[in-house]
Structure 1
Amino acid sequence: MTTRFSYSTSKCERGSEEKSWNTDVWITEGLQQKCLVRNRGTHTDKMSVNGVRDHEKVLTLDTMNPQVKCVEYAVRGPIVQRAVQIEKELKTGIKKPFTEVIKANIGDCQAMGQRPITFFRQVLALCSYPDLFEDSKFPEDAKARALRILQACGGGSLGAYSASQGIEMIRQDVAQYIERRDEGTKCDPENIYLSTGASNAIVTMLKLLVSGEGACRTGVMISIPQYPLYSAALAELGAVQISYYLDEDHCWSLNVNELRRALQEAKSHCSPRALCIINPGNPTGQVQSRQCIEDVIRFAAEEKLFLMADEVYQDNVYADGCKFHSFKKVLFEMGPRYSEKVELASFHSTSKCYMGECGFRGGYMEVVNLDPDVKAQLTKLVSVRLCPPVPGQALLDVVVNPPQPHEPSYSTFIKERSDTLSALAEKANMTQEILNQIPGIQCNPVQGAMYTFPRIHLPPKAIQEAKEKAEAPDMFYCMKLLEETGICLVPGSGFGQREGSYHFRSF
């Protein structure tokens, strides 16, 4: 059957061109459906019904989402791409001043040789291949954990979808973990959302927060230096980034007066709505004191800001006198004036700490004081992606519910956990000591997390050459370092820094 439609358009504007068209379109239905376009007039090029010439791509840099072009993510940026090219060149026999590329650009512990925790992998293996339950090499507590997880999965299989918010049993285990961590502060499993790592949950929460246009557009306060996920997500969502600076001269501490300065300056061009905190800090490695956290909570309450607490490095605290305090615990210990008022989302992940299980993409978010109607919208939003990876959920469950003293895997688990954290602490201390011995480099003590963010003092000629190449000076430095030594770092300009200062992040 053939159906004929006729239409005409008087003008088609492409740049400065205006053309007249009279077009007939025949749509033929059959085994092979064809659309034949006949153009009448003097023009020989063809125009499809959506206004795109037949020889042009529908999706181009001019037609794509402009917000995506604003996104930058230095951790996997140009230097890392060049590092991959160099690795390929080495494999083909091209001679370099080095034999391998050392990737210190990203916190991927197992890629750098850290061994996974035995118990975690035993449980995951059993969950993935239940025939292994017959294998006597697996301890009984690992089998018990795996069986419990499988019984909570659809069809008893790790390959089935879960509820969009995550497996209910695992959310209950996460809630109990938070209560133990926070010394009895209550946690409702209904406030727990399992996620694809912490990153996915952070972006989801930012999606809920961003609204408005022009001077009413949502502003989100983020630390400088910051983890580039935040600036990238805000650029993609078209939100306004409100930068507050950490104090490098005082071990990257957070000062509430700086928060006030940044907030007041931002109010003229956006509507500040959220405050993001990374504790322990990435890329700066500082650990916030309890007093600092209290000050931040008071500030958020006074200014009616939604608090987002990125706490994925909570087990990575090394410096004497430093201790991790969760925002949730401090909030509730400050009493009802704050605990019933301040809206908080906190995040954790299986990718960091002593686990280092980046590839499994396990994590969770806890929300506190979220409006019930907004919470319903959050649940709807996460349901669009069906569910977080179920193997990642299983891993998260054994992280928050590890072997207990009476179980056969306990001693091995404790030794592996302690050895890993001790090794990370030793490397952090050794790294800062060595960096401070190098002329032109100044590194603050690493109190926690997994990174150093040293300041580099570049000679004027290097800065000038970088500017001539239209590169940030620390980008220029890091690229030179990669080409000459094979060491892959991330320039401080990718994380943000004070004007005139230069840094790099090293893992």
Structure 2
Amino acid sequence: MKKPFSEVIKANIGDAHAMGQQPITFFRQVLALCSYPELLNDSTFPEDAKSRARRILQSCGGNSMGSYTASQGINSVRQDVARYIERRDGGVPCDPDDIYLTTGASDGIVTMLKLLVCGEGATRAGVMISIPQYPLYSAALAELGAVQINYYLNEQKCWSMDISELQRALDEARRHCNPRALCIINPGNPTGQVQSRQCIEDVIRFAANERLLLMADEVYQDNVYAEGCQFHSFKKVLFEMGPEYSDTVELVSFHSTSKCYMGECGFRGGYMEIINMDDEVKAQLTKLVSVRLCPPVPGQALMDLVVNPPQPGEPSHDTFIKERTATLSALAEKAKLTEQVLNTIQGISCNPVQGAMYSFPRITIPEKAVQEAMDKGQEPDMFYCMKMLEETGICLVPGSGFGQADGTYHFRMTIFPNRRKTKNPLKKPPPDS
């Protein structure tokens, strides 16, 4: 059947490279050298890439990325991650022993949920997650038999968090489960918001008062675009609030190689940092991660490069900065353009895309369309997205897949499509765009 479009625009998934984002040259050079050390004799590779590859290989058994590593990850990589966190957070100390390398951030998140889940009936563990949410959380909680506690982000205030809403959700949940953790995604997925420092302080106080473990999903920490917005790590804010909080609040934060300017989803690299965890519980966590033997070694190597990129004066530094800046600038431009274009369309309203890689606009669906969707056994926004795909070739994800306030409809759209496609998806752009 002939379609009114020449290609499908895959705006449904945060897979940067699949949508044309280019890898960072230095990262791929070092990984190539590590994978095939014979290339260390090749004069076309810069010396800083070679020295980095040698350092990584020396940390591997038999000088090979094909060997197992320690379950917690390569020690030298964890040391580099700790130094990166200290630089990022203005000197707040970080102990490499608190760092666990993971198979992407997802692996760390699921591991922590496994550690938390216990009890039956009214004593079952409950975990607070934002609505809209990233479906990893709801799927993992369902698989583990834990209770999902929904708290709603405020769409009218650019998807901000509201402490009164957290309190409402917690008080209701305590009637039927044992709430143990509060999950935050910042910058947000699917909503693209960047939480303010004041909001983070309020959340930390709430967690302290209610004795909740904080799980901070910070994989988009380099993806901040909106004027006046800034990424604040939960750890840095926690320690700046003083010992009353920094000595007591349990915090686990997550980062990944899959997003930001890297976009290296397929390498499955990541880490989590554990703060204020009881030593006996930490011992159980180490046992738990040892079951999977070790994270993928290429992902560990890539994580090391992300936290310890080329330094000023090294041969690869200028190219690295140029590529990193170009990627983040292009994403910032697309974030602004996506918001602007969506808000010109009748029946669609979109909050500013402050960060991350997605917009989550609200859509108005006519009553007749809602009824037709119901007749087909579909959610109205799923019906909308299927119509969008059939008529324009744009592939989106319905808001019902992430959760949304009753009576509202949304879709999630990545900001990856190039500018020409975003402006005019029905007209095929020239090959070089």
TM-score (normalised: structure 1):
0.81
Please report how far the alpha carbon of residue 469 of structure 1 lies from its aligned counterpart in structure 2 after TM superposition: 1.5
Please report how far the alpha carbon of residue 283 of structure 1 lies from its aligned counterpart in structure 2 after TM superposition: 0.5
Match of 1:67 in 2: none
Aligned match of 2:116 in 190, 195, 209? 209
Match of 2:278 in 1: 371
The structure with the larger Rg is: 1
Whole-Å separation in 1 of the counterparts to 2:109 and 2:400: 22
Identity, % of aligned pairs? 79
Please report how far the alpha carbon of residue 96 of structure 1 lies from its aligned counterpart in structure 2 after TM superposition: 2.6
Match of 2:240 in 1: 333
**Paired amino acid for 2:395:** C
TM-score (normalised: structure 2):
0.95
Whole-Å separation in 1 of the counterparts to 2:118 and 2:200: 27
Matched, 1:432 2:344: no
Secondary structure in 1 aligned to 2:359?
Answer: coil
Match of 1:413 in 2: 320
**Paired amino acid for 1:235:** A
Please report how far the alpha carbon of residue 173 of structure 1 lies from its aligned counterpart in structure 2 after TM superposition: 0.3
| Larger relative contact order (Cα-Cα within 8 Å, sequence gap ≥ 6) | 2
**Paired amino acid for 1:446:** V
Matched, 1:461 2:363: no
Match of 1:506 in 2: 413
Q: How does 1:335-374 map to 2 (within 5 A)?
A: 335-374=242-281
Secondary structure in 1 aligned to 2:358?
Answer: coil
Whole-Å separation in 2 of the counterparts to 1:102 and 1:155: 45
Whole-Å separation in 2 of the counterparts to 1:226 and 1:347: 16
Whole-Å separation in 2 of the counterparts to 1:470 and 1:341: 49
Whole-Å separation in 2 of the counterparts to 1:342 and 1:468: 49
**Paired amino acid for 1:431:** T
Please report how far the alpha carbon of residue 103 of structure 1 lies from its aligned counterpart in structure 2 after TM superposition: 1.0
Whole-Å separation in 1 of the counterparts to 2:278 and 2:386: 47
Matched, 1:279 2:207: no
Please report how far the alpha carbon of residue 199 of structure 1 lies from its aligned counterpart in structure 2 after TM superposition: 0.2
Match of 1:198 in 2: 105
Match of 2:422 in 1: none
Matched, 1:106 2:16: no
**Paired amino acid for 2:227:** D
Match of 1:451 in 2: 358
What are the Cα deviations for residues 381-400 of structure 1, in whole angstroms up to 9, with x where unaligned? 11111100000000000100
Whole-Å separation in 2 of the counterparts to 1:120 and 1:370: 33
Match of 2:129 in 1: 222
Secondary structure in 2 aligned to 1:364?
Answer: strand
**Paired amino acid for 1:451:** Y
**Paired amino acid for 1:293:** I
Matched, 1:441 2:348: yes
Secondary structure in 2 aligned to 1:312?
Answer: coil
**Paired amino acid for 1:364:** Y
Match of 1:303 in 2: 210
Match of 2:71 in 1: 164
What are the Cα deviations for residues 205-228 of structure 1, in whole angstroms up to 9, with x where unaligned? 000111110111111000000100
Please report how far the alpha carbon of residue 253 of structure 1 lies from its aligned counterpart in structure 2 after TM superposition: 0.5
Whole-Å separation in 2 of the counterparts to 1:365 and 1:299: 22
Secondary structure in 1 aligned to 2:118?
Answer: coil
**Paired amino acid for 2:204:** I
Secondary structure in 2 aligned to 1:506?
Answer: strand
Whole-Å separation in 2 of the counterparts to 1:245 and 1:488: 26
Match of 1:54 in 2: none
Whole-Å separation in 1 of the counterparts to 2:376 and 2:278: 50
Match of 2:427 in 1: none
What are the Cα deviations for residues 459-506 of structure 1, in whole angstroms up to 9, with x where unaligned? 110011111112110011011111222211100000000000000000
Q: How does 1:23-422 map to 2 (within 5 A)?
A: 95-422=2-329
What are the Cα deviations for residues 12-63 of structure 1, in whole angstroms up to 9, with x where unaligned? xxxxxxxxxxxxxxxxxxxxxxxxxxxxxxxxxxxxxxxxxxxxxxxxxxxx
**Paired amino acid for 2:323:** E
